[in-house]
């Protein structure tokens, strides 16, 4: 299994932990868990962006990007509901569009 790099791997782990905490939150702490998860997800996306920008021959289409072994490995570990979110962010990475912080939290 090919991994992007240790930073992406570490942030993926944190994102998945926060996703599980959010999914299991039932005692009124949902907002804090959701905020933690969202924050970790965007840190993960930023790390994927850095990885992509460092590629020697980066793919130019979303389809080619999503078929990279490293990306398939990452998306294979994401919960189903996050696949579309990741794809949306991947499109922005390919278009070299960076969300400003305010947009991330809408």
What is the residue-wise DSSP string for 8-65? HHHHHHHHHHHHHHHHH--SS-HHHHHHHHHHHHHHHHHHHHHHHHT-SS--SSHHHH
Structural domains in the chain (count): 1
Asked if the structure places residue 1 within a domain, the reply is no
Give residue 1's pLDDT: 52
Asked if the structure places residue 37 within a domain, the reply is yes
Asked if the structure places residue 35 within a domain, the reply is yes
* pLDDT tens per residue across span 19-75: 999 888 665 567 888 899 999 999 999 999 999 999 999 999 999 999 999 999 999
Residue 49 CA to residue 29 CA, distance in Å, equals 31
* Contacting residues for 61 by C-beta, under 8 A, at least 6 apart: 94
Tell me: pLDDT of 8 over 50: yes
Residue 18 CA to residue 12 CA, distance in Å, equals 10
Asked if the structure places residue 71 within a domain, the reply is yes
The whole domain housing 82 covers: 6-104
* pLDDT tens per residue across span 67-86: 999 999 999 999 999 999 99
């Amino acid at each position: 299994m090919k991994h992007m790099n240790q930073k992406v791997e570490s942030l993926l782990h944190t994102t998945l932990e926060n996703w599980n905490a959010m999914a299991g939150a039932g005692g009124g702490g949902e907002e804090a868990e959701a905020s933690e998860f969202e924050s970790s997800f965007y840190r993960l996306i930023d790390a994927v962006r850095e990885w992509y920008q460092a590629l020697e021959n980066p793919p130019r289409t979303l389809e080619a990007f999503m078929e990279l072994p490293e990306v398939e490995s990452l998306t294979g570990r994401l919960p189903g509901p996050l696949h579309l979110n990741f794809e949306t962010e991947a499109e922005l990475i390919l278009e070299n569009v960076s969300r400003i912080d305010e947009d991330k939290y809408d």
